[in-house]
Amino acid sequence: MRFSFTPEQDEFRATLRRALEARSPTKEVRRLMATEAGFDPDAWKKLNQELGLTGLHIPEAYGGQGFGFGELGIVLEEMGRALLCAPFFSTAALATTAILNAGTEEQKKALLPSIAAGETTATFAFSESDGGNDASSVSTTATPSGSTYRLDGTKSFVIDGHTADLIVVLARRPGSKGEEGLSFFTVAGNAPGVDRRQLKTMDETRKLARIAFKSAEARLLGEANAGAAPFARTIQQALVCLANEMVGGADRLREDALEYVKMRMQFGRSIASFQTTKNKAADMLVDVELAKSAAYYAAAALDEGDEDLPAVASLAKACASEAYLQTAIHAVQMHGGIGFTWDNDTHLWFKRAKSSEILFGDANEHREKMMQHWTH
């Protein structure tokens, strides 16, 4: 595997960083996170028209650009750095990958072009009230009803679920257990029988919702009762995507904290010259760079079809979870008293670090999964 980016990828990153710095300053982040939707639909459409980001890793046959997870990881890392308030992760990293993994050729041609064009926002609903991320925790049922199905059950912690135009849902055949009877379905966000409620969360920059399905009409996505393998694949891809997003945020915190201590004067000199500050800065650098290496490696493993992907994806998530949160803790401390205030921007990334730490499973859970893979 390559362990460096190509000149074209570096140029893409630089262009994207400039665009996101202009579109997502912290003032705009604070404005959008206070809104119910959590993003600006007009700005979202404009961003996709200019950069085509939602179609980045969608194959050209379905209206996308056909790039891999390496490029998608760059986008997510830069968005994590800018804390962009937009339904990109839910649409591109969750729903799109679920459709690509589970859908038939005809369904991909029908669903993906509008997503690639930025016209349709989407999300993937799989977790339920217990927050589980495995197939056995799914209790939402799908009952055949003519040429369609009827969904009954509740999905929780659905990213951007309150605004998504299209919802990809994981449900099971009534009476089935474990990985048996699982299928993917698509439901219109405004369909009758779909009750969507935004959850109150600590991290207001990433909106979560609870969606109740009461005999809601759904269409089968892919093959019936064959959803276990596509679901496992989708979760692995989501872990890698989230890890790349997290290292972007961690690096931003590290850089901002370093800039602050360089200009903050105490006892007639910069506090960056104090040994305790140097120690924290060194720890942050090591943590972030190690997490970057794991995230980049996992993205390359996805693109190259590495057989150890399940373990590599868990490794990347575990490493990024701990690095992001620890970096956020150091950043708050390095800002001193002001670091604990609402006016200081550090808390925005701190809250994202905490919410991302447990999203799709925490570090302990993924270390356990990693060891299970390599010992079997």
- Separation CA 11–CA 251 (nearest Å): 19
Strand partners for 194:
213
Residue 50 has what pLDDT?
87
- Separation CA 132–CA 155 (nearest Å): 11
Query: Which residue has 């659905």 as its token pair?
Result: 158
- Separation CA 165–CA 150 (nearest Å): 18
Delineate the domains of the chain, giving CATH numbers in brackets.
7-121 (1.10.540.10), 123-226 (2.40.110.10), 229-375 (1.20.140.10)
Angle at CA of residue 200, ends 199 and 205, nearest 5°: 95
pTM, 2 dp: 0.93
- Separation CA 29–CA 367 (nearest Å): 33
Residue 305 has what pLDDT?
86
Listed residue (253, 215, 209, 111) closest to 168, CA to CA: 111
- Separation CA 164–CA 176 (nearest Å): 29
CA 313 to chain centre: 13
* Antiparallel, parallel or unpaired: β 141-145 and 194-198: unpaired
Residue ranges with strand state E in the chain: 122-125, 141-145, 148-159, 166-172, 182-188, 194-198, 208-221, 265-266, 269-270
Residue 271 has what pLDDT?
65
pLDDT in tens, 169-228: 999 998 788 788 999 999 999 999 999 999 999 999 999 999 999 999 999 999 999 999
CB 206 within 8 A of CB 83: no
206-222 in b/e form (b: 16+ CB < 10 A) is bbbbbbbbeebbbebbb
- Separation CA 25–CA 34 (nearest Å): 15
Per-residue pLDDT of the chain (376 residues; tens, 9 = 90+): 556 788 999 999 999 999 999 999 999 999 999 999 999 999 998 888 888 899 999 999 999 998 999 999 999 999 999 999 999 999 999 999 999 999 999 999 999 999 999 999 999 999 988 777 888 889 999 999 888 999 999 999 999 999 999 999 999 998 788 788 999 999 999 999 999 999 999 999 999 999 999 999 999 999 999 999 999 999 999 999 999 999 999 999 999 888 877 777 667 677 666 777 788 888 889 999 999 999 999 999 999 988 889 999 999 999 999 999 999 999 988 877 777 787 888 999 999 999 999 999 888 888 888 888 777 6
* Antiparallel, parallel or unpaired: β 141-145 and 148-159: antiparallel
* Antiparallel, parallel or unpaired: β 208-221 and 148-159: antiparallel
Listed residue (355, 371, 362, 375) closest to 157, CA to CA: 355
